[in-house]
A and B are shown apart, each in its own frame.
Chain A
Amino acid sequence: MGSQGGFGQSKEFLDLIKSIGETRSKAEEDRIVLHEIETLKRRISEPDIPKRKMKEYIIRLVYVEMLGHDASFGYIHAVKMTHDDNLLLKRTGYLAVTLFLNEDHDLIILIVNTIQKDLKSDNYLVVCAALNAVCKLINEETIPAVLPQVVELLDHTKEAVRKKAIMALHRFYQKSPSSVSHLLSNFRKRLRDNDPGVMGATLCPLFDLITIDVNSYKDLVISFVSILKQVAERRLPKSYDYHQIPAPFIQIRLLKILGLLGIGDKQASGSMYTVIGDIIKKCDSSSNIGNAVLYESICCVSSIYPNPKLLEAAADLISRFLKSDSHNLKYMGIDALGQLIKISPEIAEKHQLAVIDCLEDPDDTLKRKTFELLYKMTMSSNVEVIVDRMIDYMISINDNHYKTYIASRCVELAEQFAPSNHWFIQTMNKVFEHAGDLVNVKVAHNLMRLIAEGFGEDAAAADSLLRSSAVESYLSIIGEPKLPSVFLQVICWVLGEYGTADGNYSASYITGKLCDVAEAYSNDETVKAYAVTALTKIYAFEITAGRKVDMLSECQSLVEELSASHSTDLQQRAYELLALTRLDVHAIESIMPPDASCEDIEIDKNLSFLNSYVQQSLENGAQPYIPENELAGTWNINNLRSQDQHEFSQHGLRFEAYELPKPPVQPTVSPPSLSSSTELVPVPEPSYLRESHQVSSATSVSDAGSSELKLRLDGVQRKWGKLKYSSPSSSTSSSTSQKPVIGVTQADVSSSVNSKPRDTYDSRKSHVDPEKQKLAASLFGGSSKTEKRPSSSHKTAKASGNAVDGSQEPKTAVVSNEVHVNKTYHEPPPDLLDLGEQTFSSSTSLDPFKQLEGLLDPSQVTSTRNHSVAAATKAPDIMAIYAETTSSAQTSSDGYSIPSSGDDMNLIFGFSNATTNISHGETTTVTPLSQSIKGPNLKDALQKDSMVRQMGVTPSTQNPNLFKDLLG
């Protein structure tokens, strides 16, 4: 390809880029860019600009826009440039418009015509450029304008065009499925395209289509399986190999599709088993891309109809991932584990320590993924530990998006698995306290409902216990400063409803607290409304119970203040309170029956009880009622209140009467709808109620995996008290897996895996602190009690351990699926693909194991490579290891790198001498990577440097990195 390092731009532009490169602050950069915008605005509108010049202006516009500034003044020029006949200019024009314009931009209509013309061009490059633009710019309305041509291009002679046409059609499908619904068969047809690139591209739309409608594509299972088989058998052209893996991107896509097609389909899944098994067996797990394919196979295995053999293989892969030193692989391992436990929950136990390690990892990403896994494996025996952990983490983070998410997860788990009322209330308190304002308001309403409904009829005692403990905890928490509004609403409601119910607290105590709340949060009207209504209820209950009511003075002043409030809602509540206290016992009892928040209200819609009254009025000469539909506007809510001796109001201007909430209505409504004015207190939608009843009672562990955030109240009732979820598997089986070398009943594979990576894994934390073990025990059902920790002699006997492993070498060679995680050590190199010099001697890692290894001679190091995995904590990324080279290189862990002053610890592409695919039981022919041929190309860098200097664009000293090769 040769170096394309020439900078075709003008000095002016280079200066601009350079000056921006040298800015030290965003403000400075903005200043320069704004100046540039002014210049461009002036220049671009000059008449008769040479086209070459114009092209540069357009590129400068792209640059300005890329830096986040508005270049819309020049869009039209970019559009014009697409009209140009010159392909060079046209391409620039297309590039600019695809970067500038979104599909809904007005200017697009000006381009459609050009696109139409270009799609018909006989130069396939023009067609390609136009298709690129089509993918970005064509919207639902303009699809018909280009659709016929795009469809025609599906049969173009050039595969690049066919490929892009497929992608364009896919895009159309995403934008407007109906517009291309008649063309979907084209995707099937293109699946058989001779060009692998076109076939690969076709998999994108097919994946989307199959996601939506699995059944119409079942017939393709055989085709997909055979394609995958061919790919795995290296039947595709060599150029599709990527790091020695045959067309991995296509494999991944196919595995995804098969995963969809095999869901719950025994027959379809049956035809996939062989090929998936082959892939798992063959795929090289020492490269990142190999692991990507393996990960996808795990996903596929766990989504199709289960096959014990494959599940075992998948479990094995997961343990390799988890034991890897690479955070990336651990992350994928945790993710894969989360998928697999849906089918075989018992495998989680084997990995308990690894999971806990991930949980305590400083890497937030890994931690979150682990919480996700824990969420999926929560059951009543470990819910306390898991939710506690989640809450701790929730408190420690600032990211509101994730805080909300994890809070809702906590609530969900607590509601589903809570072991006791007390714990449940405490947990909810914590969640509300720390994330109250982020929690969905429905959660609060649900909590109220839960406390109100309790466990149903047969557990009245438990109900009142729940309520008492709620009241108690709320009273203790109520004094804390700055509680979230939602939480206060719950507190007020519960105190109002049940504060005095168990007789532990006097009405004056509770009312005092409520007044405090109303005062402390005086600018939160919702809270005040809740507080006043709570007061009303407490007084009503007191009167009903025959006790004398002494309104506290602060209470009185609060009510007085609120009755003059600007908020009509508050005012109304205050007046209601006053009115209520003046009524007699019987009236109050019927208006506010104690503990009746869950009673259904019977509504007599016909108002038949008024019949006699109406009759009487008519006899007295009143006008008969004219129904609403006959006389619009006369309908008046007042007839609802005719008990109050109102005359029917005749006509009037009241088209919509406002409805005064009648006190008796209130307590009988379901708890959340305390307020009658919806804008203040959200009332749960009716559908919500239904939802909670739909929840199946038999929530299995896998069920918990459903990410839907719904509150399973039914589940709670059943779950509580009973330990329905025993730990998924007996602890005995897990103990074996924890022993490092001892023969395990699992497949031969695991024994070798045990003997090596597990060693390293365990040895790394040969002093697992008891805390962790305890945690493991509580998370995984006490299995760690029986587990034997590997002796601490590992640490000291490391060197000899190496030798032992070395002697085991032949054994591992037989074993399939061995972990080929190798690591090379580098000085922090500047370059990414490090070639040329060996830096084996430069392993200056601080890791103690590493140092120990330094004592060994290099040949020994190779034989103990798996140990180095554990030791490689200094190396940035295990995934960066690409490609094994010959076994002849086995004399040392060759790392190539160019020593440099760079402080940049980059991703290292070590050409590690790898296990040379022992796992395949075949010797791979050595295909040196293309990069390995290429030297570090210092010459190029120097050339570039001198060229830039000639142009006067001296890169400033502060950024010498600019010259560093991205890939060494």
Chain B
Amino acid sequence: MIQFVLLISRQGKVRLTKWYSPYSQKERTKVLRELSGVILSRVPKLCNFVEWREYKVVYKRYASLYFCMCIDQDDNELETLEIIHHYVEILDRYFGSVCELDLIFNFHKAYYILDELLIAGELQESSKKTVARLIAAQDSLVETAKEQASSISNIIAQATK
């Protein structure tokens, strides 16, 4: 199971955090500090894995952004690495050549996408197309649903008068 997902910039700035196990705010800060220290200081060419506490952290760098996922001991590191890449590819499709700035200003959208990919720390969908379709549906239906909702509630409001 994935314990948490972190996006950290090369300067150690936090771009996104998602915790699938309960961590208090204090613990989160500690984890972030600890892990960004470990991961940012690793030179290229080393493994993309770090053993950390009783977990393993798989990270991958994209431009100046590090994507990190913390997994259990018996999870497959290479698979996790690909889950990260899978996520980045979906982000890339969604934003169209995603860059760090997209994620900085649209971090909530990055969250929505992550929620379609992972749920409760497990990979829920491995098809890029499905995720993209769902996100698109949300984005577009949000608008129509909004109108519908208001019109329906108007109708209901009138009917119940």
A interface with B by C-beta (< 8 Å): 1-5, 7, 9, 14, 17, 20-21, 29, 59, 62-63, 65-70, 85-88, 91-92, 95, 98-99, 102-104, 123, 125-126, 128, 132, 135-136, 160, 163-164, 167-168, 170-171, 174, 196-197, 200-201, 204, 237, 239-240, 242-243, 247-250, 252, 256, 288-289, 291-292, 295-296, 299, 327-328, 330-332, 362-363, 365-366, 368-369, 401-402, 830-833, 873, 875-877, 879, 902, 904-907, 930-931, 934, 936-937, 940-941, 944, 948, 955, 959, 961-968
The answer on a CB contact under 8 Å between A66 and B17 is yes
Q: How far is the CB of A234 from chain B (nearest CB, A)?
A: 14
Given A92-B108, A164-B119, the answer on whether A201 and B125 have CB atoms closer than 8 Å is yes
* Cβ 8 A contact of B61, one of A168, A906, A944: A906
* Cβ 8 A contact of A250, one of B14, B65, B100, B126: B126
Please, which residue of chain A has its CB at the minimum distance from the CB of B45?
A876
Q: How far is the CB of A115 from chain B (nearest CB, A)?
A: 15
A875 to B46, CA, bound (A): 11
The answer on a CB contact under 8 Å between A5 and B64 is no
A-B contact count (CB 8 A): 279
Q: How far is the CB of A616 from chain B (nearest CB, A)?
A: 64
B interface with A by C-beta (< 8 Å): 10-11, 13-14, 16-18, 22, 25, 28-29, 32, 44-51, 53, 60-65, 76-79, 81-83, 85-86, 88-89, 91-109, 111-112, 115, 119-120, 122-130, 132, 134, 136-139, 141-143, 145-146, 149-150, 153
The answer on a CB contact under 8 Å between A21 and B137 is no
The answer on a CB contact under 8 Å between B64 and A63 is no
Residues of B within 8 A of A3 (CB): 95-97
* Cβ 8 A contact of A197, one of B93, B106, B112, B126: B126
The answer on a CB contact under 8 Å between B141 and A963 is no
A362 to B106, CA, bound (A): 38
Q: How far is the CB of A126 from chain B (nearest CB, A)?
A: 8
The answer on a CB contact under 8 Å between A937 and B96 is yes
Q: How far is the CB of B15 from chain A (nearest CB, A)?
A: 8
The answer on a CB contact under 8 Å between B79 and A103 is no
19 sampled A-B residue pairs with Cβ under 8 A: A4-B106, A17-B105, A20-B13, A21-B104, A66-B14, A88-B142, A132-B115, A163-B124, A239-B130, A249-B83, A289-B78, A292-B82, A295-B76, A832-B62, A904-B63, A906-B63, A961-B100, A966-B62, A968-B97
The answer on a CB contact under 8 Å between B79 and A252 is yes
The answer on a CB contact under 8 Å between B134 and A160 is yes
Given A9-B105, A906-B63, the answer on whether A87 and B14 have CB atoms closer than 8 Å is no
The answer on a CB contact under 8 Å between A99 and B142 is no
Given A99-B111, A160-B134, A963-B99, the answer on whether A328 and B77 have CB atoms closer than 8 Å is yes
Residues of A within 8 A of B108 (CB): 59, 62, 92, 95
Q: How far is the CB of B129 from chain A (nearest CB, A)?
A: 4
Residues of B within 8 A of A163 (CB): 124-125
The answer on a CB contact under 8 Å between B81 and A292 is yes
The answer on a CB contact under 8 Å between A295 and B99 is no
Interface residues of chain B: helix, strand, loop or mixed (majority): helix
Residues of A within 8 A of B13 (CB): 20-21, 29
Residues of A within 8 A of B51 (CB): 365, 368-369, 402
Given A135-B120, A965-B97, the answer on whether A331 and B25 have CB atoms closer than 8 Å is no
Residues of A within 8 A of B141 (CB): 87, 123, 125
Please, which residue of chain B has its CB at the minimum distance from the CB of A951?
B105
Q: How far is the CB of A274 from chain B (nearest CB, A)?
A: 23
Residues of A within 8 A of B126 (CB): 197, 200, 240, 242, 247-250
The answer on a CB contact under 8 Å between A907 and B60 is yes
A125 to B115, CA, bound (A): 13
A135 to B118, CA, bound (A): 11
The answer on a CB contact under 8 Å between A944 and B101 is yes
Q: How far is the CB of A826 from chain B (nearest CB, A)?
A: 12
The answer on a CB contact under 8 Å between A125 and B78 is no
Residues of B within 8 A of A331 (CB): 47, 49, 77
Residues of B within 8 A of A132 (CB): 115, 119
The answer on a CB contact under 8 Å between A171 and B79 is no
* Cβ 8 A contact of B145, one of A102, A123, A365, A875: A123
The answer on a CB contact under 8 Å between A288 and B78 is yes
The answer on a CB contact under 8 Å between B62 and A906 is yes
Given A62-B108, A167-B124, A289-B78, the answer on whether A963 and B96 have CB atoms closer than 8 Å is no
Please, which residue of chain A has its CB at the minimum distance from the CB of B129?
A239
